[in-house]
Structure formats: C-alpha cells, structure tokens
A and B are shown apart, each in its own frame.
Chain A
Amino acid sequence: MTSISQDGDRDKLRSVSVDLNNDTPLLIDIPDALCERDKVKFTIHTKTTLNSFQKPDFSVSRQHEDFIWLHDTLVETEDYAGLIIPPVPPKPDFESPREKMHKLGEGEATMTKEEYTKMKQELEAEYLAVFKKTVQVHEIFLQRLSSHPAFSKDRNFQIFLEYDQDLSVRRKNAKEMFGGFFKNMVKSADEVLISGVKEVDEFFEQEKTFLLDYFGKIKDATAKAEKMTRSHKNLADDYIHISATLTTIAADDNEAFKSKACISNVCVCVQKLEARVASDQELKLTELFRYYMRDIQAAKDLLYRRARALADYENSNKALDKARLKSKDVGQAEEHQQQCLQKFDKLSESGKKELTSFKARRVVAFRKNLIEMAELEIKHAKSNMSLLHACIEQLQSN
C-alpha cells in the first residue's frame, strides 16, 4: 500500500488546462490517495459555501470507476449536449513499471548489488511518478466540473462529492459493454454521414475542419513525444550500468582509481540529470499533448452532437413537409420540428461559447507549458555543464 500526499506540483499541473478554480463556492482537491493492490482510492476533499450541500467541508473516498460513472451520466444527460464535457481521466496504469520491475527481478543475478539497488530506485521513482500523474488527472477532471457554471449544479456531481457511502457503481456487465461498443460504431458511421450535411454557420464550419485536422496531428505528436521520452529514459538507465561497471573496475585497478571513480560519479549524476530531463519533458510536453488530445476529442463530440441535432432538424423539416403533403399528423410534425429547431439553436449557442473559451484556454496552457519546459531544460543543461566542468578540472589536476 502506498500513499501519497499532494504538494506544490499540483499547482503546476492545474495550470495546464484550467486556470480558474478560484470560484470560492466550490473548492475541490484530492489531498490523498491510497493504492491497494490493483485499485486506487482517492480521497476527495470539498470545501463549499453553497447551500445545496449538507456540510461546508467534507471528504469522501472514491475509485476510478466512480469517475467513469460520473462522466457517463453527464454525457447521457440531454441538457448538457451543448457543452464540452471534460474528458474522463484515463485508468491508472501501473502496467509498465510493473513489467519493468519484473524484468529487473529476473535480471538480478547479472548485476552488482549497487546497480540493482539503483535500478530499483529508478523504478520506484517511476512508479511514484505514474501514481502522482493519475491523481492529478483525476483532480483536474473534478475541478473543471466544479468551475463550470452548469456542471457544478448537476445533481449527480453533488452526489458524487457528497455521498458518504461507497457509490458501488455497478460495473458495466457484458451486455452493456457490448452495447457501448456498438453505439460507438454507430456513432463513427454517423459522423461520416453527417459530415456531408451542409453547415449553415461559418464559425462551426471552420471549427470543424480545424478540430478534425488538429486532432489527427496532436495524436501523432503525442505518440512521438512518448517515444522520445521513453528513449531518453533508456539512455539514463544505461548510465547506471556504466557507472556500476566503472566502479567495479576502479575498485580493482588502483592506478587509475581516482579518475575512474570520478567518472563513475559523473555517470551517476549524468544519469540522474538525464532521467530528470526525460521526466520533465514527459510531464510538460507529453502530458500536455495527451490532455489536449482528449479534450479535443470532447470538443469534437460536441460538434457531433450539434451536427446530429442539425440533421434531426432537417429530417423533421422533411417530415413536416411530407406530413403537410399528406395532411396527416401535421401538428405533431410541427411540434417535432419546433423542438428540433430549439434544440439546435441551443446547441449552437452554447457550442459557440464553449469552443471559444476552449481555444483561449488551450493557447494559454500550451504557452505556459512550453515556456516551463524550455526553462527546465536550460536549467538542467546548465547544471550538467557545471558538473562536467568540475569533473574535468578534477581529472586534469590529478
């Protein structure tokens, strides 16, 4: 069981996507999380001044499935069709560090003791990093919901925050999973069909093309960034091996002892730095891209819903005409048409607002993160330089 408490890192990542959790009515954070075997239990702490809640300050314990449930209910709510629903946080994935730990255990015999301990430390750090990341992602999800005027009033959301007992969300059984899968397929087919529908509004037309394009590219960029950080990590790991071997050699060979010991120290530090560079890069860049990829997907969903509404509207128009021709059920058709029109208008309006704010948010987040990443890289490079310089001096003076 590992437990973790949040620190200032929170603030940094918070500014990745959301820079408005200063709504005092509802303040949410995840101060603590426990990892029990496969499950992660988050402790969600809420501070509120709203009357709709029973207490001003309370905490509950939730699991990942509860988040998914919340997200799904929001998606299914008709009223929110015109809003961008924040993307569901990804499932906590400890698979990769676990695999590596396993491999490390297998290869233990071939390494010296120090090497083994160092590698183990690295892996533990990685594990911890994954853990931290997942906590942050969940936290951001909740914060976005709470800062949105519509969502924060949602009944389900309040239940989620407040309900003392375990929500015991029923996992989707096989039928529902399959149903969900089927629905997705239908949706994608729909998307293709609907993209043929003529778009009346210039704004949405632009947005659609932009988002579709951008989504593809950012997905690509995310994948490549992931690969890059992975190779960087591998590089750092290599330095561990090298330094361990060098220490062994230095122990044997007395003459060149000092120089070898020096370089093995250097290798250790270089490795640490490289590892840190890699993880920073990952945090800022890769996470950024990943998050926005999901966000854009959510924005695309919004557009889809709107387009669906438009299609419905047009269909209802056609039905109305047909009904008028046949002079049957005209009233019904008219009503239906009115509804569709209303829905469509509502969607368009809120959609516009949402998309504009989304754009602004995205630009700010990108800029901030890129700057931070550049600064970190500079810092690391400089410290690396000074370290190497010191070592060179030492070697020369020997």
Chain B
Amino acid sequence: MSVSSLRNPPPFLDGEDQEPEYDTRDLDSDDGEDIFTGRSNKPFTPTPPETDPPTDIFSEEGYTVQTPIKHPSLHTNILEPKFNGIQSDEELDLFAEATVELTLTTPNSQGRKEVCPTGPHFSILNAHSSLRMPDTSNKTMEELEEEEHGDTFELNIAVTNPEKMGDGMNAFMTYKVSTQTSLPAFRSKTFSVRRRFSDFLGLYEKLLVKQSLMGCIIPPPPQKSVVGMTKVKVGKEDPSSADFVEKRRAALERYLQRVVVHPALLQDPDVQEFLEKEELPRAVNTQALSGSGFLKMINKASDAVNKMTIKMNESDNWFESKLQEVENEEQLLRRLHASFDSLVNHRKELCSSTAMFAKSVAMLGSSEENSALSRALSQLAEVEDKLEQLQQEQAFSDFFIFTELLADYVRLLGAVRGCFEQRVKAWQRWQEAQSTLQKKREAEAKLLWANKPDKLQQAKDDITEWEAKVGQSERDFERISSTLRKEVHRFEKEKCRDFRHHIVKYLESLHRTQHRVSDEAGGRRRGGRHPVDLLIDSLLFSCSW
C-alpha cells in the first residue's frame, strides 16, 4: 500500500463517495510530492532538511503551513488541478520561508505591557503552522496580517473576546473564534463566529467518533468545570471568575490550534463547519446530566472491564514499548505538573506577603523621625511593591507558559493511550470476525456432510459475507496500526518542539524578571546611600518607572 492509502479521508459511515477520490488522488500522488504529504504524518521538517533544523524551532513568526496542501476538500473536488499547479510554487515558497528572521522578544514585549486578566499570551504551539495567539481582539487582525505571505496556505485561529450571554443559571459564555486563512476550502479569507463551550465539546465528540477508528490522535478539549461556570453564571465579578474565563479561553484556543494543525482533522467537514458556520445546532449530548452522558459513562465502564480481560497478542513490539513509554511519561508529566502548580501557588503567596510587607514598611517609614531614613524606608516600601508586581507577572507567566502546557500534554497522552486502545479493539474485532468465519465454515462443512442443499446456499452466503468482514477488519487493523505509528511519530516531534519552545519562553520570562529586579534594587541602593540626593533620586525613580 502506497502513500495514498494513508491519505484516506476520515471514513464516513457512508463510504461510497470516497471511491472516486481515491483514484484521483492516486494520480496526484504519482507526482512524487512526498514533500507535501502532510497527512502522511512524516514530520514536517524534512522538507528542506538542510536548511530547516537551525531555524526550525523558533520560526514562529514567518513559517508557513503546508498542511492542507494536497487535500482537496471533500465537498469540492474541483480544486485538485489547482493544487497541482500551485505545488511547485509551494516548493519555492517553502525554501524562501525557511530562512526566517526571528525576534523572540517582540511578541512577548508586546504582550508584556498588560498585566490584566487577559494575561500573557504566549503564542505558538509549533512550527508547522504559523498560528498566532494574540490575546486582545484589537491585536488579532494586525498580527494575523503580518503572517500572510503570497501564495502560501495558512490557517490562523484565535479565540478571543469572551462574552456572557443570558442570565442566571441559563447563562453561558461565548467566545469569538476568528479564522484567517488562505485555504481554498473555506468560503472566505477571514471570518469569525461565536461559539460556546458546549460547541467545542460537541466538535470533539464528533471527531472522536469518526477519527478514532482511524487511529488518529485527537486533542482533547479543556474539561468541564461545574464550579467555575456556576460562579460565572451567578454573575459575581470577582477576579477568580475572570481568571477562570481567561484560563478557559486560552485552553480553547490551544485546543483549536492543535486540531487544525493535524492535517487529517483539518480536512474534516465538521471542523470546517465549526469554524465557518454561523449557527451550530446546540450540542446537547455534551451536557453532564443527559441521556448520552449516562451512556458515555456506561461505555467507559465497559471499556475498563474489557481492558482488563482482553490480552492482545502483540505482534509488533514497537507498539508495546511505545505504550509503556507513553504511560511512564504521563506519570512523570503529572508529577511535574503538580510541582509547577505548587510553584505557582507559592509565588502567589510570595506576592501577597510582599505586598503586605511593603505596606507595613511604608507605615514604618511614615512614623520614623529621622527624615532621611524615613524616606529610605518609604522607598523600600515602593520597591517592594513593584517587586510584588513583578512576582505576580512571573506567576502568571509560570502558569500560562508551563503549567497549562503540562496539563494539556497529560491529557494528550491520555488521548494517545486511547488510540492504542482503539487499536486493540480493532484487533479484537478482527479476531472475532475470524472466529465467526471459522464457525460459519464449520457450519457449512456440517451442512455439506448432512447434505441439506437449501441451507447450504445460505451457509455459503454467510461465509462469503464473513470472509469479506474478516478481510475488512484485518485491513482496518492494519490501517490503524500504521496510522497510529505515524501519528505517534508526529506527535512526538510536535511535543518535542512544543516543549522546547515553551521552555525557552519560560526561561526568558525568568530572565526578564531578574533584570527588572536588579533595576529596582539598583534604584533603592541609590536612595539609601545618599541621603541628600534621596529626594531627587526618588523623584527620578518614579518618573522613570
């Protein structure tokens, strides 16, 4: 089976209209454009292997996406020839884009200025696609515009602008999902829709049903949180609910970005519909207390039981070792996440205690009779105050950069494990089909021996039917196995990149904080040493800040 089989579109339950597509795509694949087989899940970097590695990791800004190049939308097949033509341009553009300038600090410094609940906005998830994550909506468009280069295909998504609709217990938050793309699959270049949380969950459910059979790893959405939402609904304008909304917004954005980065998922009409369509039907089956909710719980329980009882005859060691690795990693990431959590908490504690300290030192300074010392003390108070703010910023960045990432990855690894389980299930089905076939054959043999011609025909029909099923399930299994392999590879590469990127970001933020601390302390020292210039210094100081 060549590359083309791997680029099968997600199997719809009505598989009829896919046949023609296979053929046309086979033609395409012969062009030998393995470079753009985004969905074949070879990691993207090798396109121009020699130029990529150095700039790859950090080419957030200008790197263009090549994911959906060769994937004609399932609804509009006409686009194929167009793609072919554009491919060569792609190549050129790709090389052009490979040498990308990089200013690590720019997006950060833009974002840094606001220490408000919309929080730092650390953007990119990976270098595949230049998906930005600007936080305030007024920055969205202009930053997105920076990204557009000529003929390249891009997809930028941002989730912004949470708004509360409705009242009381029926209230809900909607988020604006803005897309900017040059993909021909979509009707327009830029568009935005409003979506609510259950819509996101609904999308996930749909994808799960379809894609998991293929062995794709589907990024899980952020979790439902009854407590948080209730607070928001009740309408208390306290910072914790603003925090919660902000967390959720960021998580949703990351979720969507991961979804569209995945070449197979981007093709999915559900995803496209999600991004484009004005009004989605309300996804009621995601509600906690609904019929489908219960159904899901029951399914989960039965799955757990199954896991324990079925032992798969693993023919391929790779899968087993990989699964083990995944599980270990999940454990470790969980622990790391917990440590980071406590780090964030402690930093917040430090913030508050520094604030209190600053206040009490200010009071001390005010009651101090020696005027020079008094000024020095009140300066100390100011400095401590600023330090506290710095600490708080640091806490935010700690949180947003790293902790959330870790949590996401823990969930993603869970999804990976789910895929492995799917594979096991496929294997099971195959085995079952085989055994049924066996039984049918035995039945046929018995009938032959007993010489009952009328039933014989039926038996033969049964056999053919089951043979087909066996063949089908075997193919399924194979397909899942190979897709899973590639998916896991892709996932790992992505994860690697992701982590590195975030680590650097985190270190930078630490670096910046330290820089500021040294500035502050420098100011204070000046103040402490020259009592005569104290006043001047403090004035200068406050101006410069």
Q: Which A residues have a C-beta under 8 Å from some C-beta of B?
A: 210, 213-214, 217-218, 220-221, 224-225, 227-228, 230-232, 234-235, 238-239, 241-242, 245-246, 248-249, 252-253, 255-256, 259-260, 263, 266, 270, 359, 363, 366-367, 370-371, 374-375, 377-378, 381-382, 384-385, 388-389, 391-392, 395-396
CB-contacts of B3-34 with A (<8 A): none
Q: Which B residues have a C-beta under 8 Å from some C-beta of A?
A: 57-58, 325, 328-329, 332-333, 335-336, 339-340, 342-343, 346-347, 349-350, 353-354, 356-357, 359-361, 363-364, 367-370, 372-373, 376-377, 380, 492, 496, 499-500, 503-504, 507-508, 510-511, 514-515, 517-518, 521-522, 524-525, 528-529
Q: Which of A220, A228, A252, A381 contacts B518 (CB 8 A)?
A: A381
- Across the interface, name the chain B residue whose C-beta is closest to A278: B350
- Interface contact A231-B350, CB-CB below 8 Å: yes
Q: Which residues of the other chain, A, contact B363 by a CB distance below 8 angstroms?
A: 217, 220-221
Q: Which residues of the other chain, A, contact B510 by a CB distance below 8 angstroms?
A: 270, 384, 388
- Interface contact A235-B353, CB-CB below 8 Å: no
Task: Offer 9 A-B interface pairs, CB within 8 angstroms, sorted by A.
Answer: A210-B367, A221-B363, A231-B346, A241-B339, A249-B336, A252-B329, A370-B528, A377-B518, A385-B515
A228 with B357, Cβ < 8 A, contacts A239-B343, A370-B380 known: yes
- Across the interface, name the chain B residue whose C-beta is closest to A243: B339
- A256 CB → nearest B CB, Å: 5
What's the A-B contact tally at a CB cutoff of 8 Å?
149
Which 5 interchain pairs have the tightest Cβ spacing? A381-B518, A374-B525, A388-B511, A224-B357, A231-B350
- Interface contact B511-A231, CB-CB below 8 Å: no
Q: Which residues of the other chain, A, contact B349 by a CB distance below 8 angstroms?
A: 231, 234
Q: Which of B333, B356, B370, B377 contacts A227 (CB 8 A)?
A: B356
Q: Which of A225, A235, A367, A392 contacts B350 (CB 8 A)?
A: A235
- A228 CB → nearest B CB, Å: 4
A367 with B511, Cβ < 8 A, contacts A214-B364, A221-B364, A256-B499 known: no
**Assembly CA distance A371 to B364 (angstroms):** 17
- Interface contact A382-B336, CB-CB below 8 Å: no
- Interface contact B340-A385, CB-CB below 8 Å: no
- Across the interface, name the chain B residue whose C-beta is closest to A273: B514
Q: Which of A248, A378, A382, A385 contacts B332 (CB 8 A)?
A: A248
- A289 CB → nearest B CB, Å: 9
- Interface contact A392-B511, CB-CB below 8 Å: yes
- B53 CB → nearest A CB, Å: 10
- Interface contact B346-A366, CB-CB below 8 Å: no
- Across the interface, name the chain A residue whose C-beta is closest to B522: A378
- Interface contact A227-B353, CB-CB below 8 Å: yes
**Assembly CA distance A366 to B361 (angstroms):** 13
- Interface contact A363-B360, CB-CB below 8 Å: no
A249 with B329, Cβ < 8 A, contacts A377-B521, A396-B504 known: yes
Q: Which residues of the other chain, A, contact B342 by a CB distance below 8 angstroms?
A: 238, 241
- Across the interface, name the chain B residue whose C-beta is closest to A110: B335
**Assembly CA distance A259 to B58 (angstroms):** 14
- A208 CB → nearest B CB, Å: 13
18 new A-B contacts at CB < 8 Å, known A214-B368, A371-B529: A217-B364, A234-B349, A235-B343, A235-B346, A242-B336, A245-B336, A245-B339, A252-B328, A259-B500, A259-B503, A367-B376, A367-B528, A371-B525, A374-B524, A377-B518, A377-B521, A384-B510, A388-B511
A381 with B521, Cβ < 8 A, contacts A245-B335, A259-B500, A388-B510 known: yes
- Across the interface, name the chain A residue whose C-beta is closest to B358: A224
Q: Which residues of the other chain, B, contact A359 by a CB distance below 8 angstroms?
A: 369-370
- B51 CB → nearest A CB, Å: 16
- Across the interface, name the chain B residue whose C-beta is closest to A225: B357
- Across the interface, name the chain A residue whose C-beta is closest to B379: A370
Q: Which residues of the other chain, A, contact B368 by a CB distance below 8 angstroms?
A: 214
- B255 CB → nearest A CB, Å: 23
A224 with B507, Cβ < 8 A, contacts A231-B346, A235-B350, A381-B514 known: no
**Assembly CA distance A225 to B524 (angstroms):** 17
- B392 CB → nearest A CB, Å: 13
Q: Which residues of the other chain, A, contact B373 by a CB distance below 8 angstroms?
A: 363, 366-367
**Assembly CA distance A395 to B521 (angstroms):** 29
**Assembly CA distance A248 to B339 (angstroms):** 14
Q: Which of A225, A238, A388, A392 contacts B343 (CB 8 A)?
A: A238
Q: Which of B361, B372, B528 contacts A221 (CB 8 A)?
A: B361
A266 with B522, Cβ < 8 A, contacts A359-B370, A388-B514 known: no
- A212 CB → nearest B CB, Å: 10
- Interface contact B503-A263, CB-CB below 8 Å: yes
Q: Which residues of the other chain, A, contact B528 by a CB distance below 8 angstroms?
A: 367, 370-371, 374
**Assembly CA distance A396 to B511 (angstroms):** 15
- Interface contact B507-A218, CB-CB below 8 Å: no
- Interface contact B356-A224, CB-CB below 8 Å: yes
**Assembly CA distance A391 to B373 (angstroms):** 40
**Assembly CA distance A359 to B499 (angstroms):** 56
- A109 CB → nearest B CB, Å: 14
- Interface contact A392-B508, CB-CB below 8 Å: yes
- Interface contact A249-B511, CB-CB below 8 Å: no
A246 with B336, Cβ < 8 A, contacts A213-B367, A224-B357, A259-B499 known: yes
Q: Which residues of the other chain, B, contact A227 by a CB distance below 8 angstroms?
A: 353, 356-357
Q: Which residues of the other chain, A, contact B499 by a CB distance below 8 angstroms?
A: 256, 259-260
Q: Which of B346, B364, B496 contacts A238 (CB 8 A)?
A: B346
- A224 CB → nearest B CB, Å: 4
Q: Which of B332, B360, B522, B525 contacts A249 (CB 8 A)?
A: B332
- Interface contact A263-B343, CB-CB below 8 Å: no
Q: Which of B353, B514, B518 contacts A224 (CB 8 A)?
A: B353
**Assembly CA distance A366 to B340 (angstroms):** 37
